Amino acid sequence: MRFLYWNLNKKPLLAEVVALAHEHDVDVLVLSECELRPAELLLAVNREHERSYHLPFSPVDDPLILLRLRPDRLRPIRDAGGLSFRALRPPLGPDILMVACHLPSKLYQSDVDQGLLATRAGGLIREVEAGIGHSRTVLLGDLNMDPFEFGVVGAEGLHGMLSRAVAAKGSRRVGGEDRAFFYNPMWGLFGDRSPGPPGTYYYGSSAQVCLFWHMFDQVLIRPQLLDYFDEESLRILDSAGGVNLMRPSATPDTTAFSDHLPLVFCLDLGKGVLA
């Protein structure tokens, strides 16, 4: 199953969203800050295509999730703290817990605020996992933090590791309690050595410390899903249907498009089922 996430920054990017959905053969489309009318988006994305997208029931408007499966295959579990928990039942393979995330912006939160909110998010994820009885969890969305910030890497937060081998160990003991890892593959796309843009968000300033590029939009994978995660499928996208989302300066075109770049990845949930 192929997933695509994009924070639209409230831009009317209907043509671009439709192009991305079909260009990348997307099964689960997750949009934040989307002000497109769901009916209009469904009509456009399904026009002249045999496999239809559906709008599963959701008690919240953000994120907007479209599913290229029957809508009853995506069930709401909980929405709290910037997290939308959904039970996803694919046609093949195990059920998974999908967590669509949109945490508060750095414009309105200090680093300490963000770290504490991420700690709350980590606790909510562990609570929901305990309630459904498994940890086959994928988290995707706009964390508004970089992979190296303590809310993302901290054991009480999201505990996202840059090493797949470390994450595959499952957990580590911290303060007398086991804390499960996430694997955070976005580290491998950070900087100029990556095959695409060096991040998903760009911001320049005259401050003493300015990173310019940030990796706010991320996907994190629990160890129980690592065997299904196609590492090579993970990409930060800089075009949609042949339209360049970047300025000539190789930074996101925030005037015509979003200030965030979309990302796409694949979980091969049918692996081993038909073997």
Write the CB contacts of 62 (distance below 8 Å, at least 6 apart in sequence).
32, 33, 34, 102
The number of folded domains in the chain is 1
Which structural domain, as residue segments, surrounds residue 245? 2-267
Q: Which pLDDT score, from 0 to 100, does residue 47 have?
A: 93
For residue 164, the model assigns a pLDDT of: 98
Tell me whether strands 28-32 and 74-80 are parallel, antiparallel or unpaired. unpaired
Model pLDDT for residues 149-165, shown as the tens digit of each residue: 999 999 999 999 999 99
pLDDT at 257 over 90: yes
Residue 17 belongs to some domain of the structure? yes
- Per-residue model confidence as pLDDT tens digits over 50-105: 789 999 999 999 999 999 999 999 999 999 999 999 999 999 999 999 999 999 98
Range 248-270 average pLDDT: 96
Any domain includes 261:
yes
CATH assignment at residue 247: 3.60.10.10
Q: Kindly report, residue by residue over 196-225, the tens digit of the pLDDT.
A: 999 999 999 999 999 999 999 999 999 999
Q: What per-residue confidence (pLDDT) applies to 272? A: 58
Is residue 274 a part of any domain in this protein? no
Q: Is 113 helix (H, G, I), strand (E, B) or coil?
A: helix
Distance CA 195, CA 141 (A): 21
140 vs 143: CA distance, rounded Å = 8
On average, the pLDDT of the chain sits at 95
Question: Is 272 among the domain residues?
Answer: no
Residue 274 pLDDT exceeds 60 = no
Distance CA 141, CA 177 (A): 27
Indicate whether 57 belongs to any domain: yes
pLDDT at residue 273, rounded to an integer: 53
